Amino acid sequence: MKKFDEFIKIARELNGIGITPLLMGSVGLEEVTGRSWDAQDLDIHVPGDKRGWEVPAETSIHNWNEIVEIMESMDYVLIDLHEHEFSKDGLSVEFGIIDTLPEFAGVQVESLEIHRVEEVNYYLLNPEQYLHVYEASSKDSYRADQNNHKDFEKIEFLKHLISHNELPKG
């Protein structure tokens, strides 16, 4: 299953309940850079409490119960409430909170660009915004233990892309 195509299917359902999701992580970075990053999962950010981890998992994401219903109707199983993680056929889909971006990485929600594919609306970070997110993530101790080498490779790639004005046209 192509991860981006699966994202579009999920995003279509989220659009149906008034949510425009943000495609984060490696799948989003692949869309922005045109380069494969060997994405392992889907990271989707949706509206929620900007305090993030400070509030209970079941209330931190707005419309959480509706999101669970959508995911279950698509044959996903909730496997970790704290991480808002679902799984189907070996694909992990994790939901994050779009409203934590300003404090976490200095990326303002209002500055996100809406993209449209097959009449589905979603947000995607631009290379500069991705750079801010990966730089912030690289300072996070959990991610440092899990993914740091990947994050640093992405940071260097994005810095090169931006400094050499080699942004994909699209």
CATH classification of the domain holding 41:
3.30.460.40
- Give the CA count within 13 Å in the CB-facing half-sphere of 31: 22
Residue 31 lies in a domain: yes
Residue 41 lies in a domain: yes
pLDDT of the residue at 170: 46
Residue 92 lies in a domain: yes
Q: Whole domain around residue 21: which residue ranges?
A: 3-125
Residue 73 lies in a domain: yes
Residue 139 lies in a domain: no
Residue 169 lies in a domain: no
Q: Write out pLDDT tens, residues 23-66.
A: 999 999 999 999 999 999 999 999 999 999 899 999 999 999 99
Residue 148 lies in a domain: no
If one counts the domains in the chain, the total is: 1
Asked whether residue 143 carries a pLDDT value surpassing 60, the answer given is no
Residue 106 lies in a domain: yes
Q: What is the mean pLDDT of residues 124-143?
A: 85
Distance (Å, whole) CA 88 – CA 93? 8
Asked whether residue 97 carries a pLDDT value surpassing 50, the answer given is yes
Its pTM stands at 0.90
Asked whether residue 70 carries a pLDDT value surpassing 90, the answer given is yes
